[in-house]
Amino acid sequence: MQRLSGLGVSSGIAIGRAVCIETRTEEIYRFPLAAEELDGEVERFERAIEAAHDEILRLRDKVEKQMGDDLAAVFEAHALFLRDAGFVRRIVARIREEQVNAEWAVHRTIEELGEQFAAMEDDYLRERREDLRDVAHQLLRSLQGTSHHELSDLEGDVVVFADLLTPSDTLRLGRGKVVGFVMETGGKTSHTTIIARSLKLPAITGLPGVLAQVTDEDPVILDGDSGCVILHPTKEVLADYRRRQIDWARRDRELMATCALPARTADGVDLELMANIDLPEEMHDVQRYGATGIGLYRSEFLYIERSPEQPSEEDHYQLYRQLVEVTAPHPAIIRTYDLGGRKLASELTNIHEENPVLGLRGIRLTLAKPEVFKPQIRALYRAAVHGNLWAMIPLVSTLEEVEQFRSYAASVADDLARQGVEHRRDLPIGIMIEVPAAALIADRLAREVDFFSIGTNDLIQYSLAVDRGNEHVANLYQPLHPGLLRMLRFVINSADDAGIPVSVCGEVASDVRVAPLLVGLGLRRLSMSPRAVGRIKSRLRALRISELEEIAQHCLDFGTASEVSAYLDRALTKKVSLGTNP
Ligand code: PEP
Ligand code: MG
C-alpha cells in the first residue's frame, strides 16, 4: 500500500481502479537529419500513416456501431485524407528537401494547409480545419508511438490519473464511468476542478510525477477532502474507506437539512446565498441545497459540451426558461459565454495566442464575434419573459465594452421586436468584476449597469499576477491579500452608492473563513457551489453583522495575507462560539 498526498479540490471519496491518461501533446521539435537518414525517416513516416489509417478505421467501425453512419462518415473522411497522394507527397517532399524529422514535416504541412482552409470563403470548407487537426493529431501520435485511451472506452469504477485535463475532457470523462480524478497539475479554482465539483466527483491535483507511480488497473482510493491518494489499499483500509463513503453521503444529507433555515445572521440580517451552476442537471440542486436562485450560470460549458456543433437559439431558450422557472421568484443570473483563455473554442478564433488568459476572452470575444453570441442573446431576451432572468457579461475591463455590448444587445432586441417575437426588453444587464482596472472604476461602471458580480477567481489571478491553475505559485494565490480586500471594499461601496445589487460568485464565497469576511465587508449576496450553501449558512447564522463589520475593518489595515488569516481565525473562532440564532 502506498499513500500520496496532494491537494483535495473536489470533495468526496472514490474507490476504483486507475486508468492513466496522458493528454499533453508532445512538443514538436525540428531535428535536422543527415542525407543518409532520409530514406529511413520516410519509411518511418509511411509506417505511421498505415498505423494511423488503421486506427481511424477501427474508430469508424466502433462509432458506426454505437452512433450510426453520420458520425462514422467523419472518420471516413479522415481516413481518406491519410490516403490522399498529394498530402503524403507533400510531407515526404518536406522531409527530403528540408532534411527534417517526420514529426516536424507533418506539423508544418498541417499548419500550412490549415491556413489555406482558414482563408476559404465557404463556411463548410473553413470548418474542415478541425478535421485536419484531428488527422494531424492521429498521425503525430502514431509517429511518436504514443498509445492512448479512447475516453469513451473506460468501464467500471474508474479513477482517472492524468497529467492535465481540459474542462471539456473532464466533462466528457465525468459523464461516463469515472468516479474520481487525480491530476498532476491544477489549482483549486481552475475550471477543470470547478467542473469536477459540478459533476460531484472527488478530485485531487498537485501530484507532479504521479503518472509514473501508477499503472492501469491499480486499485486506488482517493479522498477529495484530505487530498490523500491510496494505491493498493489493504483490505482493512478499503473497508474503512467504504465506511467513510457512507458517512460522507450521510453528511451530505444533513447539509440538505439546513435548506429550510433562513440565511440570516445571529442579529437578524437577511442574506442571499445563491448557487453557481455549470451544468444544466445541477439546476435541481438549487432548491435541494436551499439556495436562493442562481448567482452564476456558466453558459460556456453548454457550448463546450456541444462543440463542434453550436447550441441553437432554441436550445438556449429552452434551458434558460427552465432555469428561471426553477429559481422563481429568485433571479437566475446567466452569464454569456466566457470562452477564450483556457476555455478556448478554437473553432471561434482562427488565431494562435501566446497568452490566451490575457487574450481574446469573455466580452472581448463577444465583441469580436458578435454573430456567435446572437442566438444566446436572443434566447436571453425571450426566456426573460418567463421569470427573473438577469444577463451578465464576463471579463469586462472598460466602460466602452459595456456600451458596445449594450448597443449590440439593443439591436438584437430591436430585431426581436421587428419580428414580433415575444421578449422582455428591460432585462437587467450586469457585469462580472474580475479585472483589477474594472474594480478600480467600479464607481463609474456602477452607473452603466444593473448589477455587479465579483469574480474573485479571476480578480485574484489578475491582481496578484498568479495563474489560477498553476500549483507552483499556489502560495501566492491569496484570497486574503489586503490589496484584494481593499478592492472588494471599493467595489461593494460603489455598488451600494449607486443602489445596484452586488455579489461575489468566485470560489471564496464557499470558504467558511472568507465568507464571513465578505459579509463584514458589506456583501449580502454570495453565490457558490450548491453543496456549500448549507455549510456557509450554518456558519453565518452563528455570527453578528456588527462584529463582522468590525473584523473586516481590522483586516483592511493589515499588510499581509498571513496576518489577515491569523487574525481572522482568532476573531471568528471567538465569535462563532458565542453566536446564537433565533
Ligand atoms: C471568477 O472568475 O471568479 C468566476 C466566477 O468566473 P470563472 O471562475 O468562470 O472564471
Ligand atoms: Mg472569471
CA distance 321 to 122: 35
**342 C-alpha vs ligand 1 centroid, how far in Å?**
12
Q: Is the CB of 506 under 6 A from ligand 1?
A: yes
* The predicted structure's pLDDT at residue 32: 79
Q: Is the peptide bond preceding residue 428 cis, with omega within 30 degrees of 0?
A: no
The answer to whether residue 191 is catalytic is yes
Ligand 1 pocket, residue 463 CB under 6 Å: no
Is the pLDDT confidence value at 227 over 80?
A: yes
For residue 431, list its beta bridge partners.
Answer: 393, 452
Q: Is 192 in the pocket of ligand 1 (CB under 6 A)?
A: no
Question: For ligand 1, atom 4, which residue shows the shortest CA distance?
Answer: 455
Which pLDDT tens digit goes with each residue over 152-198? Answer: 566 779 999 988 887 777 887 887 789 999 999 887 888 888 889 99
pLDDT value, residue 76: 83
* Confidence at residue 46, expressed as pLDDT on a 0 to 100 scale: 92
Q: Are residues 205 and 193 in contact, defined by beta-carbon separation less than 8 angstroms?
A: yes
Nearest-atom number in ligand 1 for the CA of 434 is 2
Confidence of residue 148 (pLDDT cuts 50, 70, 90): very low
Intra-chain end-to-end CA distance of the chain, in Å: 50
| Predicted local confidence at residue 576, as pLDDT | 66
Contacts (Cβ under 8 Å, ≥6 apart) of 362: 338, 339, 340, 341, 393, 394, 395, 396, 432
pLDDT of residue 24 exceeding 80:
no
Confidence of residue 149 (pLDDT cuts 50, 70, 90): very low
Output the residue whose Cα is nearest ligand 1's atom 6: 455
Dihedral of CA atoms 252, 190, 451, 386 in degrees, nearest 10, equals -60
The answer to whether residue 20 is catalytic is no
| Pocket-testing residue among 298, 344, 529, ligand 1, by greatest number of atoms within 8 A of Cβ | 298
Average pLDDT value over all residues in the chain? 89
Given the CA of residue 458, which atom of ligand 1 is nearest to it? 2
pLDDT of 33 higher than 90:
no
CA 432 to centroid of ligand 1, rounded, Å = 8
> For residues 346 and 14, which has the higher predicted lDDT (pLDDT)?
14
The CA 377 to ligand 2 mean position distance, Å, reads: 19
Domains of the chain: 2-23+150-253 (3.50.30.10), 35-144 (1.10.274.10), 257-578 (3.20.20.60)
Q: Lowest-pLDDT range, 94-98, 133-137, 191-195, 368-372? A: 133-137
pTM: 0.79
pLDDT: is 323 or 173 the higher one? 323
User: Given 191, 316, 330, 386, which residue is catalytic?
Assistant: 191
Distance (Å) from CA 339 to ligand 1 centroid: 12
- Where residue 227 falls (left for φ over 0; alpha for ψ -120 to 50; beta otherwise) is left
Nearest Cα residue to atom 9 of ligand 1: 298
Look at residue 163 in the predicted model and tell me its pLDDT.
Answer: 84
Q: How far is the CA of 64 from the centre of ligand 1 (A)?
A: 39
Ligand 1 pocket check for 505: Cβ under 6 Å: yes
> Relative to the CA of 296, which ligand 1 atom is closest?
5
Q: Where does residue 232 fall: left (phi above 0), alpha (psi -120 to 50 degrees), or beta otherwise? A: left
Three-state DSSP state, 579 = coil
